[in-house]
A = this chain, B = another copy of it.
Amino acid sequence: MSRPFGSGNLFADVHAHLADEQILDLVAAPGIRITRIVSTGHVTDWQTSDEDEWVLVLQGSGTLRFAGNDRMLVLGPGEWCHIPAGARHRVEETDPHQPTVWLAVHFPDGEA
C-alpha cells in the first residue's frame, strides 16, 4: 500500500467568524472532489455548475434557493440535497448564530 489513509474530523478547526466562506478539500481525485465548507452567516451569488453537487449539512443550517421553479430548501443537521449539473442556485441564508458545517461532493453529470 503506497497511499496514505487520509482521516480527519469535520468539526476540527471550525472558526466562529470567518471573513469568507471556507472551503477545504478532503479528497481531490479524477472525477470527484469531497470538500468541507464552513459558513458563518455567509450567502453565495447565483451559480451554475457543469458538475453534480451533493451537499449535506452537519451543523447549523443553510437555505438553498433554486432558479426557475423558485424552489427553496432549508437544510439542518443530517439533511442533504443532490443539486444536478446545470441547476442555477444560491445559498440564500446560513445560520447567523453558529458556524454551518457542510460536506459537498462534486462529481460529473450522470446524464452527460
A interface residue count range (under 10 / 10 to 19 / 20 to 34 / 35 or more): 35 or more
Checking B26, B32, B71, B80 against A107 with a beta-carbon cut-off of 8 angstroms, the contacting residue is: B32
Chain B min CB distance to A60 (Å): 13
A3 at the interface (CB under 8 A from B): yes
Residues of B within 8 A of A103 (CB): 56, 103
The 4 closest A-B pairs by CB, nearest first: A29-B110, A6-B82, A11-B78, A7-B81
Residue numbers of A with Cβ under 8 A of B are: 1, 3, 5-12, 26-27, 29-32, 34, 52, 54, 56, 58, 66, 68-69, 71, 73, 75, 77-84, 86-87, 103, 105, 107-108, 110-111
